[in-house]
Structure 1
C-alpha cells in the first residue's frame, strides 16, 4: 500500500506504541520550551507518557486521533510518515491493518 492510504487522524498508533518514541533527539532548548510543560518529561528527555501513550495524544487509537500540540511536536513525531516502517510496526502492535 502507498503512503496515501494511511490516515493519521484515524490511527494514532505511533503515539501510543512506546514511551521511548517521543524522545527529544535533535531539539534545542528553545524548541522544547515551545511545548507546553505539562507534556514534557524533563527527567527522561521526552514527551510525558501515560504508559505507552503520549499525553499529547487525544482520541481513540484506530478511530479518531489528534496531537494536541501538533504545531510544536518533537522531531521524532514529525519524522514518522504514514506507511513507513515505524508506522506499520505501531499499527501491528495495536492490531490495525497494515
Structure 2
C-alpha cells in the first residue's frame, strides 16, 4: 500500500507541473529508497527569470506522507544570488 501512496503523490506532482503555465521544468527526479521512503527534487524556471528548486525527503506513516526533510531555494536571474531555506524534522 505504501508504494501506491508514493506513486499517487508523485503522479499528482507531475500533473501539477504539467498544468503550470509560463514555466519550464529543468529537473524532475525521484528516488524511491524503500516501499516507505522516497526523495523528490524539482527545479522550475518561471517566465525565464526565476528558478525555484525544491528537494524533499518523505516517508509513509499510516498511509500518509510525512516530510522528514524539505529544502527550498530560489535564484533571481539578474542577481544570481541563491536564497535557500531548509526544514528538517527530528522524527526520523
Relative CO higher for 1 or 2, CA cutoff 8 Å, sep ≥ 6? 1
TM-score, normalised with respect to structure 1: 0.27
* Structure of greater Rg: 2
Which of the pair is proportionally richer in strand? 2
TM-score, scaled to structure 2: 0.28
The structure carrying a bigger helix percent of its residues is 1
